[in-house]
Structure 1
Amino acid sequence: MRVLRGLCAAVVVAAALVVPVPAASAATGTDPVYDFAGAVRETVWVDIGRDGDGDGKPDRVAADIVRPKEPAAQGTKIPVIMDASPYYSSVGRGNESEFKTYDAQGRPVGFPLYYDNYFVPRGYAVVLVDLAGTNRSTGCVDVGGTSDVQSAKTVIDWLNGRATGYSAKSGGSKVTAGWANGSVGMIGKSYDGTIANGVAATGVDGLKTIVPISGISSWYDYYRSDGASFGFGPDGLAQTVEARNGGQDCSAENSKLAQGATANGDYGPLWAERDYVKQAKNVKASVFVSHGVNDLNVKTINFGQWWDALAASGVQRKIWLAQTGHVDPFDYRRAEWVDTLHQWFDHYLMGIDNGIEKQPMATVERQPDQWADQSSYPAAGVAATTLRPRAGSTAGVGTLSTSASSGTASFTDNLKGTEDGWAGNPATTSANRVLYSTGTLSSPLQVSGTSSITVTATPSTSSARLSAMLVDYGPATIRNYAGAGEGIKTGTNETCWGSNAPGDDACYEVTSADTTNVGYTVISRGWADLANYQSLSQEQPLTPGQPYTMTFRLASTDHVVPQGHSLALIVGGTDTDVITGPAKGPKLTIDLAKTSVQVPLVGTPPASPRMPKAPAGPLAHIESRAPLDLR
């Protein structure tokens, strides 16, 4: 945890004034008119109607609240901004890993992040909820399941008078939220944003909007990919977030997690319970998504499939896509993010007609710190385009176009493959992958949306993995998403975003883009277990020498391949940096006539491409990947 130090380099928002006037103005939006230092700080424990730890007592989740005292004194009820998290006492929140703090009587003092500092003076309450089994809540966390979702949903019910809250963790007197108007907006990064998705998928009354930042939409797609396993399961995460919350025995719940998340990558009941995409039809709240297109932690298929499912439900949507990895927009575009978030909450929680819903739907980072607005995501004019690999004069290397293909190509899975190893020498034969390129583009191509690949492969063994990726070949300066900061560098100066109070300041270290020069950029990835060719729910042993056809997804993105670059498809076996491999690596023979990739494109790829001239040596790319950290 970084300790906030000294004076801020720039005070962006002045200290709140105590002025007895309404906090909302249709002309200007909400202003910081309420006293933050004198705000009410309290904890309410809400009964979620479960007994997850089996102790014979209903689980109660702790909701730490900070709210301006003036509105209640004036008889005015206010909306709530909520962040429900398992991390308030385990790994912390934000780029500076802030934890909740309490005084000697157990009253909340320090609220992580800037939400309270910025929004409480503007007439909002901020409620930070400890998921069941974490920090000061009883029960057990279940990593995106019913307990996690109920932890936050029931607090919304309490804010609307439909659930019971208490003044203590056990016993205590009943507490009501007479100060709340029932309107709630949920926000949070990673696990927190995931819970926002899950609660929205219940259709709970009172939830008006959610802002999921790098959030999961289906936990299967956090731990697995089309039958392939990423090699870890939810029980480990549960134990991490429960570690500092003594007094509960969660071994039974953790055992359920371990057993339900089968190592073979099959989609089963545990994953179905945690699949919010299938419940997206229930969503009534507006949704403001933010995600890094190079997030290798919460992979981008999570925002893509959620976004597409929400489109069918007709809810108001907005999206920001950055070049970063797993990073909060507060740490890569701070001023613009806070301003946009302010307008968003003012509109959907305060009812202010500020036009935010009429602004461009999508904002995309094209180059580090260079942003472009789009009227929609996927981009207007996008068309699902089928590209087919065609053999060239070099074995395992050929062209990619809309033309029909024929023939075969082979490679061997040595169980040591990586995307950089496969992509580094695009014009030469590799024993471990095949590569097909559009050749040099005479005009740009924009990949906007979610791609998929259909592969017909004949394995030499009874099990096989497939990895596929789309690559933009050409020199570029990009955010160093595989570095320690996943595309950002953290400085020592600070800026302040709201009002300060003893033990809870609004100042955060300034960040900047961490960039690197590359010769190619991987823009979309996907992985699969060929044994799941018939069903994700049940793998089938493969018969060596028999062809199998499988369609699997590639990561959602929005990327422009510039004129003069080329777009390539690479197919390999086990990407050892990401998925677990079979016991023995097979030789895989690809039927090119029955293999294709469907890409959402704006622009027309060359009908008869020519391979670009071979580079002098291996191309530069990012050589390391940041460790996964679901924060």
Structure 2
Amino acid sequence: MKFKGLGGAWVLSVAAVLAGCGGQDPTTTGASGSAGGSVSASQADNGPSFSTLGTRTSTARQVPITKGNGQKWFDYDRPVDFPGVTALPTQYIKMSDGAELAATISLPAKADGTAADGKFPVILIQTSYNKRVGSYVPALGGADPYLVQRGYATVVVDVRGTGNSDGVWRAFDEREQQDYGEVVNWVANQAWSNGSIGVYGVSYLGITAMLTASQGNPAVKAAFPIVPIGDGYRDIVFTGGQVNPTFIPLWLGLVTGLGSVPFDSLQTDPQKGLTQIVQHLLSAVNDFQGPTIVKAVTGDSNTAYDGDFWKTRSPLEVAKNVKVPTFVVGGLHDLFQRSEPLWFENLKQNTTTKLLIGPWTHIQAGGVPSDGLPADAVPAMNHIELMWFDQYLKGMNAKADSVPNVTQFVQGYGHYVSTSNWPHPNMQATALYLHGDNSLSANQPVAGEQSNTILQAPVFGLCSLSTSQWTAGIAGFVPLPCFSEDTFNQIPSANFRTPVLADDLYLNGPIEADVWISTTSLDASLSVRVSDYDPATGKSLAITNGLLTASHRAVDDTRSRFINGLRIQPWHPFTQAAVQPVNMNEPMLLPVEIFPTSAMIPKGHQLQISIASSNLPQGLPPLVTLVKGAVGVVTILNDDKHVSKVVLPVVPNTALK
């Protein structure tokens, strides 16, 4: 990467940084929760190395850098085996506690519409959105005729407390997870099942797939999760310590609205159906949905802070137990953008794992209105699914293991690019520093550089990429330019830009912003956006962003990710014990985790870092914290004693060719 109109020595210093030379940042201490950014000398002296990101139960690990494997995409398809599809009457699966879960079974059919003879491998889908609704909206849980006609039975189950199933819904709690294993045992022993099961689904359905796969039942042979969550707390519900005010109420309302009506029961047993409606609605109001929202907003210690409640609802914690071949699908602007590459990173050591990330919001990844495939040799999604299940459920030589390990759409480049690993094997962590003149460069700030101030208020970001992203893409149907451009959000932000790029800049991986601030309030928040700024038009296109509450700034370096000596992904504990005081007008460092991306900023443009005091679509502090920091002024410090920087995942742009 080179910048226009700059002296040769300065360009060489940038090149040195981008090459990963001299990776240590002399201004940082590496202490947990401090100005962390460097690793120990013993780690740094080993040369360039990658570390993983830890979890609640595991620390980060050093891993070797593996290079490309030359794998290529190919299309996979085959003729139908059966002319039709038939659905059996609703079946009820009795759980060990007596609750009955409703299931729809779709089987390959003969020309006369009757079920075909024989036993079939099974695609298992477990949904909270009502299987009857899924029959009309497949992403919510419906059989795909394309797969059924090629010799697969499909079982769609309403999880406990939703749809036509008994019980109380508590979103992935221990009892629901126990149900998954009991459902697998039932499916494996049915007359139409050959005992070979693949778990599949979009969103909630993908999460149930991964939790089911983690239980190690030998009947489960493969997994194909589309946009699955990894960490319930960090991914979305309390990103940066702030509760999501857009998607979470929308989601809880969706489960309540769709899952409360037992269509099948009302038809076959009206009394049972009416009882289920009352049970589902009362549990929503009194047991889970309503109380959970109240607890989150009011800062309940067991909900607003990380702990056992969120550990149970964070499938990455049990990723080590997943041993079956798994194909993970994610989106650059998905709700679970943070964890989808982490799934690949955690699973690849256990089993054959592939990762595909498209230019999608949540609903786009589920094919609403379209996922845009095939494109750039990446086949249609159902062709990929068929290839995966043919290989690992039917034992056919579909060559599913020979497609690229990682395929990502690169924003700004406009194409899918494949490689062997995530993080990208050629990526190096690169620090660029914030300056008082609003520039962003490889030069560290010096004494006397001016600070920048921003207004402290919880209402910024209302019309932004975040509005589209955190409504699962629904708001994106409204044709407002601010849902893709960051221009509007530059107004309340402090904006830092590199000089004009003389070459393309390719970013691929997680990002960290280490920002020194002081505040006139008793707490504060930082929203840090990364965007592509076009100086010719004055417009900036959003790429990714991060969010952090100042009192949650503590970092556990043993679980954070370091690459070539720089911390590039901080691990915040977010526990009540880890909360740090915020003193008025006292400098403090906020290490902000910015969600991973793959993007190219073209030559002639500038990389822009925009810092604001809030991002309302993504997060709002719980009430007690909000009151402490609702109004005031945040000062961004960038001098020799308070070195603010952004650590970028830079990949040579030759990797795009």
TM-score, reference length from structure 1? 0.70
Deviations 1:203-241 (A, max 9, x none): 333222222222222222221102122235676555334
2:244 to 206, 230, 234: 230
Deviations 1:83-133 (A, max 9, x none): 21111268x349x63699xxxxxxxxxxx65x4411122111111111111
Residues 341 and 355 of structure 2 are in contact (CA less than 8 Å); yes or no, is this contact kept in structure 1? no
Structure-2 residue corresponding to 1:316? 352
Structure-2 residue corresponding to 1:416? 459
Between Structure 1 and Structure 2, the one with more strand by share is: 1
- 1:49–1:308 Cα change, 3 Å: same
Give the letter for the 2:201 counterpart. Answer: G
SS class of match (1:555): strand
Structure-1 residue corresponding to 2:84? 36
Give the letter for the 1:536 counterpart. Answer: F
Deviations 1:425-472 (A, max 9, x none): 89x9x6x42222222222222221222222232221111111111111
Displacement of 1:542: 1.9
- 1:261–1:577 Cα change, 3 Å: closer
Structure-2 residue corresponding to 1:609? none
2:636 to 586, 590, 608: 590
- For residues 134 and 567 of structure 1, the distance between their equivalents in structure 2, rounded to whole angstroms, comes to 46
Q: Given the alignment of the two structures, is residue 77 of structure 1 paired with residue 119 of structure 2, yes or no? A: yes
Deviations 1:560-595 (A, max 9, x none): 222222212221101233322523223222232332
Counterparts of 1:157-172 in structure 2, within 5 Å, are 157-160=185-188
- 1:29–1:299 Cα change, 3 Å: closer
SS class of match (2:215): coil
Structure-2 residue corresponding to 1:182? 195
- 1:523–1:41 Cα change, 3 Å: same
1:344 to 388, 396, 400: 388
Q: Given the alignment of the two structures, is residue 551 of structure 1 paired with residue 591 of structure 2, yes or no? A: yes
- 1:557–1:74 Cα change, 3 Å: same
Q: Given the alignment of the two structures, is residue 206 of structure 1 paired with residue 207 of structure 2, yes or no? A: no
Q: Given the alignment of the two structures, is residue 150 of structure 1 paired with residue 178 of structure 2, yes or no? A: yes
- For residues 290 and 154 of structure 1, the distance between their equivalents in structure 2, rounded to whole angstroms, comes to 26
SS class of match (2:339): helix
- For residues 212 and 590 of structure 1, the distance between their equivalents in structure 2, rounded to whole angstroms, comes to 41
Structure-1 residue corresponding to 2:431? 386
Identity %: 22
Stretch of structure 1 that moved more, 139-148 or 129-138: 139-148
- 1:218–1:263 Cα change, 3 Å: farther
Structure-2 residue corresponding to 1:303? 340
- For residues 299 and 73 of structure 1, the distance between their equivalents in structure 2, rounded to whole angstroms, comes to 38
Displacement of 1:152: 3.1
- For residues 653 and 83 of structure 2, the distance between their equivalents in structure 1, rounded to whole angstroms, comes to 57
- 1:379–1:266 Cα change, 3 Å: same
Structure-1 residue corresponding to 2:61? none
Give the letter for the 2:146 counterpart. Answer: Y
Counterparts of 1:564-583 in structure 2, within 5 Å, are 564-580=604-620, 582-583=626-627
Give the letter for the 2:91 counterpart. Answer: V
- 1:333–1:93 Cα change, 3 Å: farther
Displacement of 1:190: 1.7
1:119 to 141, 144, 147: 147
- For residues 153 and 577 of structure 1, the distance between their equivalents in structure 2, rounded to whole angstroms, comes to 36
Residues 332 and 359 of structure 2 are in contact (CA less than 8 Å); yes or no, is this contact kept in structure 1? yes
Q: Given the alignment of the two structures, is residue 362 of structure 1 paired with residue 425 of structure 2, yes or no? A: no
Residues 107 and 152 of structure 2 are in contact (CA less than 8 Å); yes or no, is this contact kept in structure 1? yes
Q: Given the alignment of the two structures, is residue 374 of structure 1 paired with residue 374 of structure 2, yes or no? A: no
Give the letter for the 1:570 counterpart. Answer: S
Residues 458 and 548 of structure 1 are in contact (CA less than 8 Å); yes or no, is this contact kept in structure 2? yes
Q: Given the alignment of the two structures, is residue 528 of structure 1 paired with residue 548 of structure 2, yes or no? A: yes
Stretch of structure 1 that moved more, 335-344 or 522-531: 335-344
SS class of match (1:384): strand
- 1:128–1:75 Cα change, 3 Å: closer
- For residues 329 and 425 of structure 1, the distance between their equivalents in structure 2, rounded to whole angstroms, comes to 29
SS class of match (2:383): helix
Q: Given the alignment of the two structures, is residue 243 of structure 1 paired with residue 282 of structure 2, yes or no? A: no
Residues 89 and 134 of structure 1 are in contact (CA less than 8 Å); yes or no, is this contact kept in structure 2? no
TM-score, reference length from structure 2? 0.67
- For residues 93 and 369 of structure 1, the distance between their equivalents in structure 2, rounded to whole angstroms, comes to 32
- For residues 256 and 417 of structure 1, the distance between their equivalents in structure 2, rounded to whole angstroms, comes to 27
Structure-1 residue corresponding to 2:107? 67
Residues 531 and 541 of structure 2 are in contact (CA less than 8 Å); yes or no, is this contact kept in structure 1? yes
Structure-1 residue corresponding to 2:92? 45
SS class of match (2:620): coil
1:398 to 439, 442, 448: 439
Structure 2 unmatched ranges of 5 or more: 1-75, 263-276, 375-379, 465-481, 555-572
Counterparts of 1:278-289 in structure 2, within 5 Å, are 278-289=317-328
Structure-1 residue corresponding to 2:526? 466
Displacement of 1:365: 3.0
Residues 391 and 399 of structure 1 are in contact (CA less than 8 Å); yes or no, is this contact kept in structure 2? no
CA RMSD, Structure 1 to Structure 2 (Å): 3.4
SS class of match (1:450): strand
Between Structure 1 and Structure 2, the one with more helix by share is: 2
- 1:74–1:206 Cα change, 3 Å: same
Residues 164 and 261 of structure 2 are in contact (CA less than 8 Å); yes or no, is this contact kept in structure 1? no
Structure 1 unmatched ranges of 5 or more: 1-27, 51-57, 101-111, 161-175, 477-516, 606-631
Stretch of structure 1 that moved more, 522-531 or 326-335: 326-335
Give the letter for the 1:587 counterpart. Answer: V
Structure-2 residue corresponding to 1:456? 516
Displacement of 1:319: 2.0
- For residues 209 and 351 of structure 2, the distance between their equivalents in structure 1, rounded to whole angstroms, comes to 15
Structure-2 residue corresponding to 1:269? 308
Stretch of structure 1 that moved more, 344-353 or 73-82: 73-82
- For residues 177 and 332 of structure 2, the distance between their equivalents in structure 1, rounded to whole angstroms, comes to 26
SS class of match (1:301): coil
Residues 288 and 319 of structure 1 are in contact (CA less than 8 Å); yes or no, is this contact kept in structure 2? yes
- For residues 73 and 465 of structure 1, the distance between their equivalents in structure 2, rounded to whole angstroms, comes to 59
- For residues 139 and 617 of structure 2, the distance between their equivalents in structure 1, rounded to whole angstroms, comes to 31
Q: Given the alignment of the two structures, is residue 603 of structure 1 paired with residue 617 of structure 2, yes or no? A: no
Residues 437 and 569 of structure 1 are in contact (CA less than 8 Å); yes or no, is this contact kept in structure 2? yes
- 1:356–1:140 Cα change, 3 Å: same
- For residues 156 and 648 of structure 2, the distance between their equivalents in structure 1, rounded to whole angstroms, comes to 41
Displacement of 1:289: 1.8
